[in-house]
Amino acid sequence: MIRIVVNGAGGKMGREVVKAVAADPELELAGAVDPSHKGEDAGILAGTERNGVTVGGSLQTVLEETHPQVVVDFTSPSVIFDNAAAVMEKGLSMVIGTTGLTEKQRTLLQEISSRTGANALIAPNFSLGAVLMMEAAEKISAYLPNAEIIELHHNHKYDAPSGTSRLTAEKMGAARKQEPCEDRTAESIPGARGAVVEGIRIHSVRLPGYVAHQEVLFGGEGEILTIRHDSLDRKSFMPGVVLACKKVLTVPGVTYGLENYL
């Protein structure tokens, strides 16, 4: 049994993680953290039956009381680096679903990992379908270099563009074997053409009703190719989270992207 602490247990993703961990015979929910729900039963908070795990208000305190092997973090970009550094300094491994970590911060976490032996997976997306979509986009970019990304999420998402779209663009940019056609469009309003990551334009939509969706559009001479992935429920991320919880203890260092665990 792998002992898991869920940080951000009261959030929409955190509640699903609590349920997924509790339901898996190889994982044990050792603790849960969420200052807004301190003292509540984690099972009741997640919408299932009482499980006897009391939600703590302090990550530090819960770690000291529960002695987990892995911490799963779905909190906020503003605190994720401090959370990860504190956990990994203790030699504990992490599964990080919170977006917002910069390349420099990932490098700093790798330095901590090298010193303490703690491992980490940083995954912009835990959906297996989304990971396969990114791999497909990477392969297609070698032959159709002209492409743009449209990503659509709920209006409570903290960041834009999404971590998934950024990673997709990075992979696509690196895979291009030729330069895309010149973009001659002038923006009459700055930002109308979206953000640019590795030469790929990303357009972010934030509306109620969406969960997590991404569309990659490729244009060629006389042809258009579109690939799209839709997460219609946060349950779609749970197989990836559970997989990560089981593998993070055995994959050394800091890994970026769930595809590296498949």
CATH number assigned to the domain comprising residue 48: 3.40.50.720
pLDDT at 42 over 90: yes
Per-residue confidence (pLDDT) for residue 158, from 0 to 100: 84
Q: Which residues contact 227 (CB under 8 A, 6 or more apart)?
A: 133, 136, 137, 140, 215, 216
- Residue 12: name the closest of 128, 154, 129 by CA: 154
pLDDT at 99 over 90: no
Model-wide pTM > 0.85: no
CB atoms within 10 A of CB 59: 23
Which helix (DSSP H) or strand (DSSP E) does residue 72 occupy? strand 70-73
Catalytic-labelled residue, pool 90, 154, 157, 246:
157
Do 169 and 242 lie in one domain? The reply is: no
12 is catalytic: no
Distance between CA atoms of 207 and 154, rounded to whole angstroms?
A: 5
Encode pLDDT of 132-165 as tens digits: 999 999 999 999 999 999 999 999 998 899 989 9
Do 172 and 208 lie in one domain? The reply is: yes
Catalytic-labelled residue, pool 37, 153, 229, 247:
153
Tokens of 98: 């919170």
Encode pLDDT of 58-88 as tens digits: 999 999 999 999 999 999 999 999 999 999 9
Which CATH number goes with the domain that contains 146?
3.30.360.10
153 is catalytic: yes
Residues in the chain: 262
Answer for the pair 170, 162: CB distance below 8 angstroms, yes or no.
Answer: no
| Mean pLDDT value across residues 119-129 | 94
Per-residue confidence (pLDDT) for residue 172, from 0 to 100: 97
Do 139 and 227 lie in one domain? The reply is: yes
Residue located via tokens 């912009």: 124
Encode pLDDT of 9-35 as tens digits: 999 999 999 999 999 999 999 999 999
pLDDT grade, residue 227 (50/70/90)? very high
Domain limits at 207? Answer: 128-231
Do 16 and 113 lie in one domain? The reply is: yes
Q: Which residues contact 198 (CB under 8 A, 6 or more apart)?
A: 169, 170, 172, 173, 174
Do 11 and 118 lie in one domain? The reply is: yes
Angle between helices 12-23 and 238-247 (to 10 degrees): 60
Total domains in the chain come to: 2
Amino acid identity for residue 76 in this structure: S
pLDDT at 256 over 90: yes
pLDDT at 100 over 90: no
CB atoms within 10 A of CB 207: 9
Do 78 and 48 lie in one domain? The reply is: yes
Do 174 and 146 lie in one domain? The reply is: yes
Do 164 and 114 lie in one domain? The reply is: no
Do 37 and 163 lie in one domain? The reply is: no
